[in-house]
Structure 1
Amino acid sequence: MDVLRRVADARAFRASVPGSLGFVPTLGALHAGHGSLVERAVRERAAAIASLFVNPTQFGPGEDLAAYPRREAEDLAFLERLGCSAVFVPSVEEMYPPGDDTRVQPGAIAARLEGAARPGHLTGVATVVTKLFAVVRPDVAYFGQKDFQQLRVVQALAHDLRLGVRVVGCPTVRDEDGLALSSRNAYLSADERRAALALPRGLFAARADWERGERDPKRLADRVRQHAAALALEYVSVADPLTLAELTRAAERAVISLAARVGRARLIDNVLLGMDVSELV
């Protein structure tokens, strides 16, 4: 497995791959959720490349940029075991050279939810993903459903900017107890982890209501809040999966998203109703 630290090295690697290239961009601190994306890229493409880069522009003031877990040696070994052909591990200076002040501003799909809760976050995501696509030049990129708004923002920018990359959404990977895998789960104490299980339970209860025919957005959101009432919820949203516009009446598809503070951890999760993540393009 090649470990590439410079833009020139990543471009040379791309030139050496004769077939289709799959790409999994990550912040590092990898877990089985990331692994599922890499396994799919390895299985479906001629070669697979991942990136490890804690992108400073997607962290706001007071967020956990300095504390974010960094485990490069473990992550590289993990990716090699999964069959990754290469890993791009740039420095901040390589991605944001002196004088760099260009940013990619996503559209209306980024205005609500995480866009409102974390100002500038999705601009940072859109900027770094655009840069990574320009450097790595993949044919297909794989993103997890757990960061649903991020997935939709990246799909929109790839389409709108004609980047020539197909962005594939992949199902959320969960622990046996239902908690969505996240690098930030490492912040949770044992008691906090038990408390955090109210989040998937609320989402699953709302999904069960949907499967029994409930379509009222307010009732679906209230079901989630009932289960997570003891937690510091930032938002519960019932929105159109394509536009992320909040639903005000019954619809035949929806995404229920939430964000909550549990101890030091800020956790997000969602369930997609009436369609599969593979249908999003």
Structure 2
Amino acid sequence: MEIIRTVAQLRKAVETAKLNQKKIGLVPTMGALHEGHMSLVQSACADNDVVIVSVFVNPTQFNNANDLQTYPRTEEADCEKLRQAGVHIAFVPSVEEVYPEPDTRIFNLGPVAEVMEGAMRPGHFNGVAQVVSRLFEMVRPDRAYFGEKDFQQIAVIRRMVELEGFNLEIVPCPIVRADDGLALSSRNVRLSEHQRDVAPNIHRILKESLKWAETLGVEETATRVADAINQFPEMEVEYYKIVDQKTMQPVTDWYADGHGAVGCITVYLGDVRLIDNIKYPIK
């Protein structure tokens, strides 16, 4: 595996792969890699001739300076995992390399970016669009892989691809969970032992809500989920929204359209912000 740190080197490697008619898969990450990331890498390796994984903590998508500062950084361990997984190139740039000048672009991401994470973290999705569009320009991948834990982010990236006219396939990959159901996240390492014991209740209650949805309406189901999680003194629900899987707009009944509904949740466990989601079957 080659570790590349400059855009010039990356473009050169991509050009060589393209000249040799190689299909390129890109897995954008912010590092602190876990089995969730590695499942994306595994899919990319199965589908493509050359796999490039970026390891870059993108400052423009953090609206909280403390969150940026405390985000785990484990470059050496990350590169070793990628090497063992058969990745061809790890792109590990500096901030100055990705942003030689401040990125002042504002993307018209529309309604998919205005709710949930977009409402709670102003500027977050614009920062995501900035860095992902730059990576797409550098790599020109045939496919790019994203985890469904960040369900809304995938909708935002699809919108950015539409706006910018990129010719590639966005490949969503299922959430990877620990044995007790907790969605794997780089932020999980910040949980205390007790908090880690409490955290799986998020997914447990989301799964229970599938049963509740058989007899309750959308609003009643969402309220019950939030109330059940808030029963734990350690946890506080920031939001739980049941939305259209494609548009990210709130649904008012389970029969609204053919896309199906997804429940997206953000929970504070102490000062650690955890996200998860669950899909509701189309009725």
CA–CA distance in structure 2, aligned partners of residues 37 and 61 of structure 1: 27
1:194: how far off? 1.7
Kindly report which structure 2 residues correspond to 1:3-152, keeping only aligned pairs within 5 A, or say none.
Answer: 3-17=3-17, 18-152=21-155
- Deviations 1:112-162 (Å, cap 9, x if unpaired)? 100011111111001110011001110100000000111111112112321
1:105: how far off? 4.2
- The amino acid across from 1:6 in the alignment is T
CA–CA distance in structure 1, aligned partners of residues 31 and 44 of structure 2: 17
Structure 1 residues 63 and 114: CA distance shift in structure 2, 3 A: farther
Q: 257, 263, 268: which is aligned to 1:256?
A: 263
- The amino acid across from 1:97 in the alignment is P
1:223: how far off? 3.3
Aligned residues of 2:254 and 2:261 also touching (Cα < 8 A): no
Q: Which moved more, 1:20-29 or 1:195-204?
A: 195-204
What's 1:202 paired with?
Answer: 205
* SS of match in other structure, 1:199: helix
CA–CA distance in structure 1, aligned partners of residues 62 and 101 of structure 2: 19
- Deviations 1:200-233 (Å, cap 9, x if unpaired)? 11111112344xx346211321332243022211
What's 2:246 paired with?
Answer: 242
1:101: how far off? 2.5
* SS of match in other structure, 1:13: helix
Aligned residues of 1:256 and 1:271 also touching (Cα < 8 A): yes
Q: Which moved more, 1:68-77 or 1:58-67?
A: 58-67
Give TM-score scaled by structure 1 length: 0.93
Aligned residues of 1:141 and 1:165 also touching (Cα < 8 A): yes
| Identity score, percent | 41
Structure 1 residues 268 and 36: CA distance shift in structure 2, 3 A: same
1:188: how far off? 0.4
Q: Which runs of 5+ in 1 are unaligned?
A: 276-281
Aligned residues of 1:172 and 1:180 also touching (Cα < 8 A): yes
Q: Which runs of 5+ in 2 are unaligned?
A: none
1:2: how far off? 1.1
CA–CA distance in structure 2, aligned partners of residues 43 and 144 of structure 1: 16
Count residues in correspondence: 273
CA–CA distance in structure 2, aligned partners of residues 150 and 99 of structure 1: 22
* SS of match in other structure, 2:70: coil
1:99: how far off? 4.9
Aligned residues of 1:42 and 1:83 also touching (Cα < 8 A): yes
1:96: how far off? 0.9
CA–CA distance in structure 2, aligned partners of residues 99 and 71 of structure 1: 26
1:102: how far off? 2.6
CA–CA distance in structure 1, aligned partners of residues 183 and 64 of structure 2: 26
- Deviations 1:59-82 (Å, cap 9, x if unpaired)? 113441111111111000000110
Aligned residues of 1:201 and 1:227 also touching (Cα < 8 A): no
* Residue 183 (structure 1) aligned with residue 186 (structure 2): yes
| CA RMSD in angstroms, aligned pairs only | 1.5
* SS of match in other structure, 1:65: helix
- The amino acid across from 1:268 in the alignment is I
Q: 189, 192, 210: which is aligned to 2:195?
A: 192
CA–CA distance in structure 2, aligned partners of residues 21 and 77 of structure 1: 21
1:272: how far off? 1.7
- Deviations 1:82-121 (Å, cap 9, x if unpaired)? 0101011111011111354334342210001000111111
CA–CA distance in structure 2, aligned partners of residues 115 and 200 of structure 1: 22
